[in-house]
Structure 1
Amino acid sequence: MRPAELNRYFADLTSLPGVGPKTAALLQKVAGPRIIDLLLTGPTGLIDRSYRPKVGEAILGRVATVTVTVTAHTPPPTGRRLIPYRILTADDTGYLTLVFFRAKREWLETRYPVGTSLTVSGTIDDYGGARQMTHPDYMLRPDHDETLPEVEPVYPLTAGLTLPTYRRAVAAALRRVAPLAEWRAPPLEGDGAPPLPDWADAVRTLHAPQSERDLSPSSPARRRLAADELLSNQLALSLIRHRRQQIAGRALPGDPTLMEGGRAALPFRLTAAQDQALAEIVADMQSPARMVRLLQGDVGSGKTMVAFFALLQAIGSGVQGALMAPTEILALQHEETLRPLCDRLGLSLVTLLGRDKGPERAAKRRGVAEGYVPLVIGTHALLSEDVVFRDLGLIVVDEQHRFGVTQRLSLQEKGRRADILVMTATPIPRSLALTTYGDMSVSQIREKPPGRKPVATRALPTTRLDEVMSAIGRAAARGDQIYWVCPLVEENDQLALTSVTERAASLADATGLDIAAVHGRMSPQEKDAVVARFARGDADVLVATTVIEVGVNTPNATIMVIEHAERFGLAQLHQLRGRVGRGDKPSSCLLLYSTGDGEQLGKTAKARLNTLRETEDGFVIAEADLALRGPGDALGTAQSGQARFRFGDLSAHKDVLEWAHQEAADIVRHDPYLDTKRGAALRTLLYLFGQDEAARRLRSG
């Protein structure tokens, strides 16, 4: 149960004075439905009203606070409501017109009669050579001047929601804030660093910034709230992991003879990094606790071979193994790689696809259900109700980010306490791995098999498109194949990017080559058919959107052209580049960028392209991608995504995250059910930052 002391924070916004259903609906759009959401949505900027010039000396376009005298009222003609109401004011340096639309004449004339002295605050602009302020933020009599705040916070707004309304709601919410039992035991701040406030003071300070410094991730209030948020994240993941370890798995001892036979069947030796990852996986499988492990490996690092030996470990223990891939073409690719090895070892392998029909499908299903097929490869077809395993012991999920959680759970339910190995070819920065996959053990393959040739990477402006087309014509004449990636399917007037369909047509006209085109709006069957035609060598060029980012293996492809590369994220560019350089021929990646109407390439886009040219290490690239991505980055908005945290900044708070990770591990080691006095405070923390599920499952497992 949520602690009773938190009810004040989890009440609906309409429980705040002055917040009715209409205002609450607007606030919910920006912050959320509850008071805690409002409290934990910090200001995005501030208005400084300390600039107090004379009217004639005020800098135009800047918020200014001036003291003036009302000299005249100029209401609009009767019936002309679109003409604004004007109040003429002045000081000893000049005139300032106050402008009001749809104003109430009687109220203004009564409230601000001629001769009244006023302190007004707002933005001063020029209109037709005269200085004016439209709808001043404040109009105060000089004797109330001290009530004018020098600095005011600015919040995200939506249509119909004004800053004064938002601030009044925040002020009402802040009156509910009360001290809570401290959950943060060891200090986070280092020598000489300012001490961090407690939670309640941090929330109050968050909403009262006095300078731009107070808005930065390094301010004490934001750093404290980031520490709380990241600790709640790490603690929730650690608790989930601990509960999972309490659920009995089963030991899979394996068969050394089968493993040795697998190595003998390979035409190469595993790298040291592959051996290390495999040793970690096998150790997990041999223990009675259930394995849930993430295998990270860069493009071409050999994850599939490691997964194959993990499957042999399961099969050698007398259980079945399943490998689930996101597309049929990737499933068939896995079959093509693994079937010769299985044949040499005398193991039956079937591939279950959605396209299987009739007696063929029935025969495959029967073999899986009766257990004489130990290794099954498939797509979502594995999740079908009519697919039953005799005894599923290991589930390998390839490109796990392409599957939803419910899909992975559906496959899990087909196995009795089955071990799970999920793979990704997208290197994940440590900070993202901790916050996203912290409930899993992680193995990394950071070494590429010998023989993988580096891909020469060049960045070229789109003005050199004709040269690129000539180059791919020469490559095709040598028998090589080419990928050409476009960011859009159809022409978009706003971005004016070349679509897949248009580019395919222009390439066919310019080169006379056989062009295939594939994009996200095609059905899976259509996509697979086009990609398969390219993989067979029946097309010279495959023009595509990012659907070819993962999985497609065409060793004969030697050139990757990425159009408008400045609009892709670094990690995505690296994944696309990994589609070439898979054979024995020299390969290249051409990054075509556009700078618009003679503008310079943006700083972030330039840094992104330079990083890609300088390194092929996906883990280095992933860290650089995280550092470069930003919500204000116009070149690459598609890659920025939504921030996972309100306060935790994975670039600015790396030390905080490491602290939270260690602290969570220590808490779970000594107080796994949060039974202590501090444990009760930590339960409060979990609820405050939306980790309700972890808090509720403390006893239920």
Structure 2
Amino acid sequence: MINEALTSIKGIGPGREKQLHKLGINNVSNLLVYFPRSYEDRRKIFSIKELENGVTAGVVGTVVSIMEKKPRPRLSILDITITDGTGPMKIVLFNQGYKKNFYKKGQRLYAYGKAEFQYGSMQMNSPQIENLGTDAMPDTGIVPIYPLAEGVSQYVVRSSIRNWFDAHHTMDEIMPPEIRANYMTMNRYDAFKEMHFPSSSESYEKARYQLAYEELFIMQSGLALLRNKEQCHVGPKMEPDGVLMEQCKENLPFQLTGDQERAISEISQDMQDERPMQRLLQGDVGSGKTVVATLSLVKAVENGYQAVIMAPTEILATQHYEGITELCKHLPINIALLTGSTSKKEKDRIYEELQNGTIQLIIGTHALIQDKVQFKNLGLVIIDEQHRFGVNQRAALQHKGVYPHVLIMTATPIPRTMTLSVYGDLAVSIIKEMPPGRKPVKTYVVDSSYKERLRVFFGKEMTTGHQVYVVCPLVEESEKLDLQAAEELFLELKDYFYKSFDVGLVHGRMNPKEKDEVMQAFHEGHIQLLVSTTVIEVGVNVPNATIMCIEGAERFGLSQLHQLRGRVGRGDIQAYCILVSDSKGDVSQERLRLMESTHDGFELAEQDLLLRGSGQLFGLAQSGLPDLRIANIIKDIDILVQARNDVLSYIREFGIEQLEKYMKLELEKRFGEKFLRILYN
């Protein structure tokens, strides 16, 4: 019933169906989960005489005059005066002169907005307006406000949803009966109806809690089934650390931090179990995850297995290869690098030596998942910055061994709330401690009036042999304009420094080979200042870079800004991050000030989620999990933990098969075929 066509609802013809498609609503199911973004309390209709300055209210009145004024070029003001018998009120619309034909004298209107006493009369600037018939009354009560697209009105969404509820009085229950008995205070139909058209604040809160719990229970059920699938298999059980591991630790040119020691110990324990490891290694930029990865790889080789590490780009794979080769130079381990630009002759040699077991450790990019890559005995798979790979790519690499251990690494700090939801099927190790000798990057927020001073500063740093990043924002909607702005800035800086320093440009429209060449030139010090429109590859290490200047900083997320800041300050030299923003918005300013005072990536990630909303969860598109529609993983952490515990308790009491029986259909509906393929492949 719920997957029926939209046109099955009274009042939706082809025209209205097209409008709803603009909102991503393609069937009844999509429509019912298109929840309001906010609500307005319109339970009382005020008379104009009752209005007080600054009050947000709704009034009904009849149009008595319509006048358009054009006080200056590019500004038009449309004044619509209405009266309800108790007095007049002006509705003022800016730059909407085209609407003067929408309204006529004698028409009844409902206006909802902020009332202000200005120029001797009461007025509302740009209120929401409903055109009422002779006897019609406006939507009152607690009214839902939906996110809209151009050409779609609140009325279209509201009436479509209301008409579905008017024609139906039940909805299928989807939760296991035992869970329903404990947590569901209303049936599903009533909960959905309350979310769209609340009868009171209390009943809305109950409905929201119930549907948020249901959403998180479904997500945690999916993760539990994934975890169970992995734990059913028998993987490569390894011995406790031996001579090779000891040698590797002894040859390290530095002391391991406490967090690194702990992570290595947790990974070793997992690899000594016959159940395949599924672990997430989170470490802030520059915290030393590569060392932990190297020791994990050495452990696999020591036990007679092959090991692989896959990175999202050639430059990052090459960097891992150089770093790991250096750390293992005293060890009898055969290491290879495989990327798209490896020569055919070299590729053929690698394919052969992987198959016969001569190569014990391989580092590479997507090239590793080609059919020609066959291992003799794969025991450990490490995936770096896994959100850059699709579900199928990760699975393809894992399937080259018989249930190998899997370690996923990320430098993107993920808050605990997110780890529980997105990575609920993984154990987690966190490295927060920075290696000794690292100086925190000094961070400053400035506006564009600092332009000349910044250039002088860049010049001073480059004169001492250091390098500079200048990053411009790039968002899809304005890609051409952004690219143009970046190219102009590049030419400007090139011209400014032309006698003294080389300036490079890297942007998303360049092909990967060109991009890599510029990055390589910067990496090797041939370019002193790099202008970039793309987020510079996570993990690319240029120890000589001491300045990260970010233009239009308010357009980046806090986690993104923190990642960019982590590109500098990799050595023991003082580094600087300069955030340039002319935004006067309170939220933008608050976010940027946080960057000045906070260096903890995890704290910034939490704040980012609070300030920007959970939206598209990190990596969800890749992990196969759906967006959350009701639950907010920051604000609803208690519900998330409750749902997780209840899923585990349910499995203990009734068994995983019973959970699967109840949840499979819903998992298929929400997670799609991709998720089921992973679950049942």
TM range (shorter): 0.7 to 0.9
The corresponding residue for 2:637 is: 654
The partner residue of 1:509 within 495, 498, 502 is 495
Match of 1:311 among 293, 297, 310: 297
The one of 615, 637, 646 aligned to 1:663: 646
* 8 A Cα contact 1:488 1:500, kept in partner: no
Change (3 A) 1:184 1:449: farther
The CA deviation at 1:242 is: 1.0
Q: Structure 1's 102 and 331: CA in aligned 2 closer, same or farther, altered over 3 A?
A: closer
Distance in 2 separating the partners of 1:616 and 1:136: 49
Moved more, 196-205 or 397-406: 196-205
Deviation at 1:10? 3.0
**Does structure 2 retain, via aligned residues, the 8 Å contact 1:46–1:153?**
yes
What is the SS of the residue equivalent to 1:10? coil
Query: Following the alignment from structure 1 to structure 2, what is the Cα–Cα distance between the partners of residues 263 and 653?
Result: 42
- The equivalent of 2:189 in structure 1 is 200
> Match for 2:454 among 468, 475, 483?
468
Partners of 2:479 and 2:312 in 1: CA distance = 33
Tell me, yes or no, if the aligned pair for 1:486 and 1:498 is still in contact at 8 Å.
no
Give the paired residue count: 639
Alpha-carbon distance change, 567 to 171 in structure 1, aligned in 2, over 3 angstroms: closer
Q: Which residue of 2 aligns with 1:540?
A: 528
Secondary structure (helix, strand or coil) at the match of 2:535 reads: helix
Q: CA deviation at 1:421?
A: 1.2
Alpha-carbon distance between aligned partners in 2 of 1:23 and 1:465, rounded to the nearest angstrom:
50
> Is the contact made by 1:100 and 1:135 (CA closer than 8 Å) also made in structure 2?
no
Partner of 1:221: 207
From 227, 232, 249, give the equivalent of 1:246: 232
The Cα shift of 1:550 comes to 1.0
Q: Find the counterpart in structure 2 of residue 329 from structure 1.
A: 315
Name the amino acid aligned to 2:162: A
Partner of 2:157: 166
Match of 2:581 in 1: 593
SS of the equivalent of 1:221 reads helix
Q: CA deviation at 1:423?
A: 0.7
2:220–2:421 CA contact under 8 A, matched in 1: yes
TM-fit CA distance, 1:572: 0.9
SS in structure 1 at match of 2:12: coil
Matches within 5 A, 1:333-372: 333-372=319-358
Distance 1:182 1:563, change over 3 A: closer
Counterpart AA for 1:206? M
CA RMSD in angstroms comes to 4.2
Instruction: Name the residue aligned to 2:132.
Output: 138
Residue in 2 that maps onto 1:298: 284
Distance 1:352 1:698 in 2: 26
Q: 422-431 or 177-186: which moved more?
A: 177-186
Query: What secondary structure, in the 3-state scheme, does the structure 2 residue paired with 1:343 have?
Result: coil
Following superposition, the deviation at residue 297 of structure 1 comes to 0.5
Q: Are 1:178 and 2:170 an aligned pair?
A: yes
The range that moved more, 622-631 or 45-54, is 45-54
Matched AA of 2:189: A
Tell me which residue corresponds to 1:24: 17
**Residue 603 of structure 1 corresponds to which residue in structure 2?**
586
Secondary structure (helix, strand or coil) at the match of 1:483 reads: strand
Whole-Å separation in 1 of the counterparts to 2:674 and 2:377 = 30
Greater displacement, 644-653 / 545-554: 545-554
Return the letter of the residue paired with 1:139.
G
Change beyond 3 A, Cα 1:667–1:386: same
Structure 1: how far apart are the matches of 2:678 and 2:503? 57
Pairwise CA distance, 1:562? 1.6
Please give the residue correspondences for 1:391-470 in structure 2 after superposition, counting only pairs within 5 Å: 391-470=377-456
Q: Is the 8 A contact 2:614 2:632 kept in 1?
A: no
Q: Is the 8 A contact 1:61 1:123 kept in 2?
A: no
Q: Corresponding residue for 1:622? A: 605
8 A Cα contact 1:570 1:621, kept in partner: yes
The reply on whether 1:524 has 2:515 as its aligned counterpart is: no
**Shift in Å, 1:588:** 1.7
Give the distance between the partners of 2:592 and 2:382, measured in 1 at CA. 34
Structure 2 letter corresponding to 1:26: Q
Q: C-alpha deviations, 1:21-66, integer Å up to 9, x for none?
A: 4433433443633323222222333472632416898999987554
- TM-score, structure 2 normalization: 0.82
SS in 1 for 2:254: coil
Checking the alignment, whether the CA contact within 8 Å between 1:254 and 1:315 is kept in structure 2 is no
Partner letter of residue 517 of structure 2?
A
Distance (whole Å) between structure 2 residues aligned to residue 657 and residue 325 of structure 1: 31
Provide structure 1 residue ranges, at least 5 long, that are not aligned to the other structure.
1-7, 73-85, 113-117, 596-600, 633-641
Q: How many Å separate the matches in 1 of 2:346 and 2:675?
A: 48
TM-score by length of 1: 0.80
CA contact (8 A) 1:331 1:379 kept: yes
Q: 1:140 to 1:149 in 2, by over 3 A?
A: farther
**Alignment partner, residue 621 of structure 2:** none
User: 2:231–2:275: 8 Å Cα contact kept in structure 1?
Assistant: yes
Q: How far apart in 1 are the matches of 2:306 and 2:282? A: 23
**Matching residue of 2:42:** 48
Matches within 5 A, 1:547-558: 547-558=535-546
Kindly, what percent of the aligned residue pairs are identical?
37
- In structure 2, the residue corresponding to 1:338 is in which secondary structure? helix
Answer whether contact 2:48 2:83 (CA < 8 A) is retained: no
Aligned partners of 1:332, 1:694: CA distance in 2, in Å? 31
Question: Displacement of 1:233 after TM fit?
Answer: 0.9
Q: 1:168 to 1:508 in 2, by over 3 A?
A: closer
**Alpha-carbon displacement from aligned partner over 1:323-382 (angstroms, at most 9, x marks no partner):** 111111111111211113333112111111211224333223222222111011111221
Residue in structure 1 matched with residue 95 of structure 2 by the alignment: none
Is residue 2:640 matched to residue 1:690?
Answer: no
Report the equivalent of 1:155: 146
Q: Who is 2:28 aligned against?
A: 35
Alignment partner of 1:9 is 2:2: yes
What's the CA shift for 1:152? 3.9
Contact 2:48-2:89 within 8 A present in 1 as well:
no
1:9 is paired with a residue of what secondary structure? coil
In the superposition, relative to structure 1, how do residues 647 and 503 fare at CA in structure 2: closer, same or farther (>3 Å)? same
1:480 aligns with 2:466: yes
For the residues of structure 1 that align with 2:459 and 2:548, how far apart are their CA atoms?
13
* 8 Å contact kept, 2:382–2:408: yes
Amino acid of the structure 2 residue aligned with 1:574? H
* CA-CA distance at 1:570 after TM superposition: 0.8
Whether the 8 Å CA contact 1:352–1:378 is kept in 2: the answer is yes
Distance 1:538 1:525, change over 3 A: same
In 2, Cα distance between equivalents of 1:32 and 1:663: 32
Deviation at 1:299, TM superposition (A): 0.7
Output the CA distance in 2 between the equivalents of 1:71 and 1:479.
73
For residues 375 and 258 of structure 1, the distance between their equivalents in structure 2, rounded to whole angstroms, comes to 14
Q: Residue 697 of structure 1: CA displacement?
A: 8.1
Q: Distance in 1 between matches of 2:298 and 2:54?
A: 74
Is the contact made by 2:109 and 2:130 (CA closer than 8 Å) also made in structure 1? yes
Matched residue, 2:94:
none
Contact 1:122–1:138 (8 Å) recurs in 2: no
Which has the higher mean CA deviation after the structures are superposed, 498-507 or 582-591?
498-507
Q: How does 1:205-284 map to 2 (within 5 A)?
A: 205-209=194-198, 213=201, 219-253=205-239, 256-284=242-270
**Where do 5+ consecutive residues of structure 2 fail to align?**
66-79, 92-98, 616-624
| CA distance, structure 2, for counterparts of residue 464 and residue 67 of structure 1 | 52
Taking the aligned partners of 1:342 and 1:96, their CA distance within structure 2 comes to 78
CA contact (8 A) 2:559 2:608 kept: yes
How far does residue 300 in structure 1 lie from its aligned partner after superposition?
0.9
Deviations 1:570-627 (Å, cap 9, x if unpaired)? 11111111111112222222222224xxxxx322222222222212221122112212
* Counterpart residue type for residue 527 of structure 1: K
Residues 472 and 550 in structure 2, CA contact (< 8 A), matched pair in contact too: yes
- In the alignment, residue 554 of structure 1 is paired with which amino acid? V
**1:224 and 1:537, CA in 2 relative to 1: closer, same or farther beyond 3 A?**
same
